[in-house]
């Protein structure tokens, strides 16, 4: 179900007119629909209902504490990639046994923290890291719970910056090395191999990579068992994509979102593809969705500052830019942009750009938009994942505020950054 729609001319999220939020809290502003997040979580959870499983939410997608808390309450674990994300997850109420910790560059203090908290698994990404984990565990007189992050060499045919499972990517351990480590680390006093992990990449829109991943993990898990390890789980990463682009013309948004904000594949189809092989292992499955749980729940609200034509181009200059939403600049990502109040009239074609002193600072290029005036409010859609979490203070801009909407209620879940805090650092 879609919680965003037009009521006559006004954009409404759940039961709150979005313009009211922009006026009350100011812009730029992130707003999220709680009901949408809850629906997303339930749908994903049901997809894996046939097997023991845990959804370990990829905290990096959106680490607002209130969003973490609401997902934790629904039963989510956490996929963390730093000591900061582990801290946030623990504070939000995620039990240590439901936290996994990935990342190619873990610092020693982060590894030590993970071992001491006895989290579900440290997803080790290289032979050298495994050695370091073993050394730290020995010093602490502990047995570290480790899962090997495999690089399965599967191409998701997506943007190279968010493909992580091809052999040329920096992530994970090659299969042959993994096999050797599995043999070498049998009965190790300070390393307990509890899981196998892989993450193919992000914004996946096809089933086939998941099917292949299931097969690869099944084979490796069987090998691992033959070597005498007792695996406790298989962690298949995240990556399920969301539709950002409309299938037709944005001018029709007022009546029909044309697929924007829907998942790129049915969660059930993803689960079935993975489980086709993995089911036979009878091990709990961890799935680490980030984007699929929060992207379509979030909007970035921004106000039109100026309209300008130069060099034969038309620009709509707004008060949000790459500091608030980096995805267009970093990946040439498309985000639909709609007015908070619809105005009839001839459509314009323009670049929507931010105030940042970079030519690469844009939210949309050559976009067809309804007629606009100074002061108009716009919503950038599908901004709940990798929006605020990729924001920065560049150009000494305080970070935007965040608001959570539920039915006809709304509340601030992160205050706007303060100018004084820029000075304090």
Q: Build a one-symbol-per-residue string for 274-293: x at contacts with ligand LLP by CB under 6 A, - elsewhere.
A: --------------xxxxx-
Grouping H, G, I as helix, E, B as strand and the rest as coil, residue 297 is helix
Residues classed as catalytic: 357
Q: How far is Cα 293 from Cα 413, in angstroms, rounded to an integer?
A: 18
Closer CB to ligand LLP, residue 11 or residue 295?
A: 295
- Tell me, rounded to whole angstroms, the distance of Cα 137 from its chain centroid: 31
Cβ–Cβ < 8 Å for 18, 8: no
Stretch that binds ligand LLP, among 177-185, 234-242, 278-286, 309-317 (CB under 6 A): 234-242
Cβ–Cβ < 8 Å for 422, 84: no
- Least distance (Å) from ligand LLP to the CB of residue 239? 4
Residues 314-353 that bind ligand LLP (CB under 6 A): 327
Q: Across 72-226, where does the E strand assignment appear?
A: 77-80, 99-101, 121-124, 144-151, 173-174, 191-197
Q: Build a one-symbol-per-residue string for 368-397: x at contacts with ligand LLP by CB under 6 A, - elsewhere.
A: -----------------xx---x-------
Crossing angle (nearest 10°) for helices 34-47 and 65-74:
40
Closer CB to ligand LLP, residue 188 or residue 268?
A: 268
Does 4 contact ligand LLP by CB under 6 A?
no
- Least distance (Å) from ligand LLP to the CB of residue 105? 13
Q: How far is Cα 390 from Cα 327, in angstroms, rounded to an integer?
A: 8
Residues 58-77 that bind ligand LLP (CB under 6 A): 58, 61
Does 400 contact ligand LLP by CB under 6 A?
no
Q: How far is Cα 89 from Cα 310, in angstroms, rounded to an integer?
A: 48
Residues 5-24 that bind ligand LLP (CB under 6 A): none
Strand pairing report for 401-406 and 29-33: parallel
Q: Build a one-symbol-per-residue string for 99-118: x at contacts with ligand LLP by CB under 6 A, - elsewhere.
A: ---x----------------
User: Binding residue for ligand LLP (CB under 6 A) from 53, 120, 199, 243?
Assistant: 199
Does 57 contact ligand LLP by CB under 6 A?
no
Crossing angle (nearest 10°) for helices 127-139 and 108-117:
60
Spatial CA neighbour of 299 closest among 17, 79, 1: 17
Q: How far is Cα 351 from Cα 136, in angstroms, rounded to an integer?
A: 52
Q: How far is Cα 271 from Cα 15, in angstroms, rounded to an integer?
A: 33
Residues 119-178 that bind ligand LLP (CB under 6 A): 162
- Least distance (Å) from ligand LLP to the CB of residue 327? 5
Stretch that binds ligand LLP, among 19-27, 125-133, 236-244, 358-366 (CB under 6 A): 236-244
Is residue 74 packed enough to be buried (19+ CB in 10 Å), middle (13-18) or exposed (0-12)?
middle
- Least distance (Å) from ligand LLP to the CB of residue 292? 6
User: Binding residue for ligand LLP (CB under 6 A) from 28, 158, 239, 400?
Assistant: 239
For residue 182, CA distances in Å to 142, 278, 285 come to: 19, 19, 20
Cβ atoms < 10 Å from Cβ of 274 = 26
Closer CB to ligand LLP, residue 231 or residue 242?
A: 242
Closer CB to ligand LLP, residue 12 or residue 299?
A: 299
Residues in contact with ligand LLP by the rule CB under 6 A: 58, 61, 79, 102, 162, 199, 202-203, 237-240, 288-292, 327, 385-386, 390
């Amino acid at each position: 179900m879609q919680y965003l729609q037009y009521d006559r001319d006004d954009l409404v999220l759940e039961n709150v007119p979005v313009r009211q939020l922009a006026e009350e809290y100011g812009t730029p502003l992130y707003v999220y629909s709680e009901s949408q997040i809850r629906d997303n979580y339930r749908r994903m959870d049901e997809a894996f209902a046939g097997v023991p499983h845990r959804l370990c939410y990829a905290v990096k997608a959106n680490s607002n504490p209130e969003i973490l808390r609401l997902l934790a309450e629904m039963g989510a674990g956490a996929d963390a990639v730093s000591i900061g994300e582990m801290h946030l997850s623990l504070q939000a109420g995620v039990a240590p046994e439901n936290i996994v910790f990935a990342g190619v560059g873990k610092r020693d203090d982060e590894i030590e923290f993970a071992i001491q908290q006895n989290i579900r698994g440290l997803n080790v990404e290289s032979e050298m890291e495994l050695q370091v984990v073993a050394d730290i565990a020995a010093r602490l007189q502990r047995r570290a719970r480790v899962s090997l992050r495999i690089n399965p060499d599967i191409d998701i045919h997506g943007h190279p910056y968010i493909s992580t499972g091809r052999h040329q990517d920096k992530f994970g351990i090659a299969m042959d090395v993994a096999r050797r480590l599995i043999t070498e680390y049998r009965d190790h006093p300070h390393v307990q191999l509890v899981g196998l992990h892989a993450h193919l990449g992000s914004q996946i829109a096809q089933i086939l990579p998941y099917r292949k991943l299931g097969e690869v993990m099944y084979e490796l898990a069987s090998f691992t068992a033959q070597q005498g390890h007792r695996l406790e789980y298989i962690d298949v990463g995240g990556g399920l994509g969301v539709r950002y682009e409309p299938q037709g013309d944005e001018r029709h948004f007022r009546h029909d979102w044309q697929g924007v904000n829907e998942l790129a594949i049915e969660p059930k189809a993803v689960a079935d593809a993975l489980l086709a092989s993995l089911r036979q292992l009878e091990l709990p499955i961890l799935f680490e969705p980030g984007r699929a749980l929060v992207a379509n729940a979030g909007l970035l609200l921004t106000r039109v500052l100026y309209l300008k034509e130069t060099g034969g181009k038309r620009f709509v200059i707004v008060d949000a830019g790459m500091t608030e939403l980096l995805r267009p600049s970093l990946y040439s990502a498309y985000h639909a942009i709609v007015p908070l109040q619809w105005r009839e009239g001839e459509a314009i074609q323009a670049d929507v750009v931010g105030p940042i002193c970079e030519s690469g600072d844009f939210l949309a290029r050559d976009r067809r938009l309804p007629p606009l005036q100074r002061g108009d409010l716009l919503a950038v859609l599908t901004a709940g994942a990798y929006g605020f979490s990729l924001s920065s203070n560049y150009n000494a801009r305080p970070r935007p505020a965040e608001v959570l909407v539920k039915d006809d209620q709304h509340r601030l879940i992160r205050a706007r950054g303060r100018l004084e805090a820029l000075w304090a650092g």
